[in-house]
């Protein structure tokens, strides 16, 4: 995978070099996919597991970039966004001669079913609140609220790894995902035990990773959001449905420019 600079207002795009096809990082291109976010286009070319990279781009405030891949899935790395953050910071960012365009949430929008929900509410900053509840005593109930600016994202979220139970990992492999999946790139739970010898990176790593996923999924809006996301046991599918509900109501959002923050691209 190679990240290449892109012109102002061109957005984030995935380029499958093996298929000579481009896919915009847009919620309208997201499809139902087990346990990850997958983008596709009219040519039936797809890119899977984009959420951690998208979260890194959101956290580092990268607006314009071309992501070149020679296969159907973003590398798993260690199951978090930290390796992407490290490599992007090593490459450096370039400020562009254009203001950042943001999407301001004007009124509450919500989707969900009993026990699971995703909500966007007006706010003067981007913030994420999340609550999870699992029967396994390795997780139980965890709640957290963060406002993931660049510094907060790097230190409080980026290293939180994806997690799942042994049967979920097997299902992902059957679906052609997580091909290199192992304890090196996920927190794996068997019953009430964390199988990783090194344990957890944060006491509440599970809910932090759910926030990480939400940050990545919401960046498929096409611009940073000014709003407060509230997730209760939500996942990739609900996150996409929430963006669909937001943009379906033209009175629920508007574009705005942040003159104090120019757009940025990977150097």
3-21: pLDDT as tens digits:
999 999 999 999 999 999 9
| pLDDT over threshold 80, residue 65 | yes
Q: Can you give the pTM of this predicted structure?
A: 0.93
Q: Which long-range contacts (CB under 8 A, 24 or more apart) does 178-184 make?
A: 178/49, 178/76, 179/73, 180/76, 181/76, 184/78
State how far the alpha carbon of 204 is from the alpha carbons of 58, 132, 144, 161, in Å. 22, 10, 9, 11
pLDDT score for 172: 63
Contact (Cβ atoms closer than 8 angstroms) between residue 52 and residue 84: yes
Question: Half-sphere exposure of residue 88, counting CA atoms within 13 Å on the CB side?
Answer: 31
- Looking at every residue in the chain, the average pLDDT score rounds to 92
Pick from 111, 110, 141, 118: which is nearest to 234 by CA?
Answer: 118
Establish whether 236 is a catalytic residue. Answer: yes
Domain ranges for the chain: 2-266
Q: Which CATH architecture has domain 2-266?
A: 2-Layer Sandwich (3.30)
Poorest-pLDDT segment among 30-44, 80-94, 164-178, 204-218: 164-178
Q: Indicate the pLDDT class of residue 257, thresholds 50, 70 and 90.
A: confident
pLDDT score for 178: 54
Q: What's the rounded mean pLDDT across residues 152-157?
A: 95
Instruction: Give the Cα separation of 11 and 224 in Å (integer).
Output: 11
pLDDT score for 267: 74
Catalytic-labelled residue, pool 52, 209, 230, 236: 236
Q: What's the rounded mean pLDDT across residues 136-157?
A: 94
Pick from 37, 39, 35: which is nearest to 47 by CA?
Answer: 39
């Amino acid at each position: 995978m190679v990240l290449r600079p892109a012109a102002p207002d061109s957005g984030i795009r995935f380029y499958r070099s093996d298929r000579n096809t481009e896919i915009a990082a847009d919620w309208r291109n997201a499809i139902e996919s087990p346990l990850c976010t997958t983008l596709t286009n009219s040519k039936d070319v797809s890119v899977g597991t984009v959420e951690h990279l998208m979260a890194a781009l959101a956290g580092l405030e990268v607006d314009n970039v071309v992501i070149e891949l020679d296969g159907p899935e973003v590398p798993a790395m260690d199951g978090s966004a930290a390796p992407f953050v490290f490599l992007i910071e090593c490459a450096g960012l370039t400020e562009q001669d254009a203001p950042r365009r943001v999407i301001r949430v004007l009124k509450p929008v919500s989707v969900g079913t009993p026990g699971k929900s995703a909500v966007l509410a007006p706010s003067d900053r981007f913030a994420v609140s999340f609550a999870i509840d699992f029967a396994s005593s390795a997780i139980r109930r965890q709640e957290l609220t963060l406002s993931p600016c660049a510094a907060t994202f790097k230190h409080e979220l980026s290293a939180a790894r994806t997690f799942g139970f042994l049967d979920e990992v097997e299902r992902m492999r059957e679906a052609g995902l997580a091909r290199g999946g192992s304890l090196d790139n996920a927190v794996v739970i068997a019953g009430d035990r964390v199988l990783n010898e090194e344990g957890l990176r944060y006491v509440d790593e599970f809910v932090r990773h759910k926030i990480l996923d939400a940050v990545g999924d919401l960046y498929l809006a096409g611009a940073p959001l000014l709003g407060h996301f509230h997730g209760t046991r939500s996942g990739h599918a609900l996150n996409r449905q929430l963006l669909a509900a937001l943009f379906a109501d033209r009175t629920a959002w508007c574009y705005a420019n942040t003159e104090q923050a120019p757009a940025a691209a990977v150097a």
